[in-house]
Amino acid sequence: MSTHQTFEKPRRKTRNPALLFWRLIVFALPVVVIAGGVGGVMVMKALKPEPEKKAEELKPAPVLVASPRRETVYLAVNTQGEVRPRTEIDVVPQISGKILRVSDSFIEGGFFKKGDVLIRIEPDDYKLRVIQAEATVAQAEQVLTREKAESEIAKKDWAELGEGEASPLTLRLPQMAEAQAKLDSANASLADANLQLSRTVIRAPFTGRVRSKGADLGQYVTPGARLGRIFSTHLVEIPLPLTDTELSQLNLPLAFTQSNEHPGPKVDLSAIVAGQPRHWSGRITRTDSAIDPRTRVLFAFVEVEDPYGEGADNGMPLAVGLFVDAHVEGREIPNALVVPRTALRGDNTVYLAKEDGTLSMRTVTVASSNRESAVLIAGISPDDRVITSPVRAAVEGLKIETVERTASVDTDPADTDGSN
SS3 string, the chain, reads: CCCCCCCCCCCCCCCCHHHHHHHHHHHHHHHHHHHHHHHHHHHHHHHCCCCCCCCCCCCCEEEEEECCEEEEEEEEEEEEEECEECCEEEECCCCCEEEEEECCCCCCCCEECCCCEEEEECCHHHHHHHHHHHHHHHHHHHHHHHHHHHHHHHHHHHHHHCCCCCCCCCCCHHHHHHHHHHHHHHHHHHHHHHHHHHCCEEECCCCEEEEEECCCCCCEECCCCCCEEEEECCEEEEEEEECHHHHHHHCCCCCCECCCCCCCCEEEEEEEECCEEEEEEEEEEEECCCCCCCCCCEEEEEEEECCCCCCCECCECCCCCCEEEEEEEEEEEEEEEEEEHHHEECCCEEEEECCCCEEEEEECEEEEECCCEEEEEECCCCCCCEECCCCCCCCCCCEEEEEECCCCCCCCCCCCCCCC
- Looking at the predicted structure, is the pLDDT value of residue 413 above 60? no
Same-domain pairing of 154 and 205: no
Last residue of a domain, one of 233, 256, 289: 233
Percentage of the chain modeled with pLDDT above 70:
83
- 391 CB-contact burial (10 Å; exposed 0-12 / middle 13-18 / buried 19+): middle
pTM over 0.85: no
What's the confidence (pLDDT) of residue 223? 94
Q: Is residue 210 part of a domain?
A: yes
pLDDT of residue 14 exceeding 90, the answer is no
Say yes or no: 100 and 156 in one domain.
no
- What's the pLDDT score for residue 173? 83
Looking at the domain assignment, is residue 155 inside a domain?
A: yes
Average the pLDDT over 59-69 and give the result.
87
If asked whether residues 208 and 251 sit together in one domain, one would say: no
80-111, pLDDT tens digit by residue?
999 999 999 999 999 999 999 999 999 999 99
What is the number of structural domains in the chain? 3
Residues 82 and 114 in one domain: no
254/375 same-domain check:
yes
Q: Is the pLDDT of residue 135 over 60?
A: yes
Question: Does 53 reside within a domain?
Answer: no
Same domain (yes/no): 271, 347: yes
194/328 same-domain check:
no
Q: Which is higher by pLDDT, 131 or 414?
A: 131
Residue 346 has pLDDT above 60, yes or no: yes
Task: Kindly state whether residue 419 falls inside one of the protein's structural domains.
Answer: yes
Residues 278 and 357 in one domain: yes
Residue 297 lies in a domain: yes
User: Does 240 score more than 70 pLDDT?
Assistant: yes
Say if residue 195 is in the same domain as residue 267.
no
pLDDT above 60: residue 7: no
pLDDT exceeds cutoff 80 at 418: no
Is residue 379 located within the same domain as residue 282? yes
pLDDT score for 51:
62
Same domain for 68 and 204: no
Specify if 6 maps to a domain.
no
CATH code for the domain in which residue 96 is found? 2.40.50.100
Say which CATH number the domain at 264 has: 2.40.30.170
In a domain, 382, yes or no: yes
Per-residue model confidence (pLDDT) at position 43 = 66
Percentage of the chain lying above the pLDDT 90 cut: 48
Give the pLDDT confidence of 263-303 residue by residue, as tens digits: 889 999 999 999 999 999 999 999 999 998 999 999 999 99
Range of the domain at 262: 58-86+234-420
Are residues 256 and 187 part of one domain?
Answer: no
Residue 211 clears pLDDT 50, i.e. is over it: yes
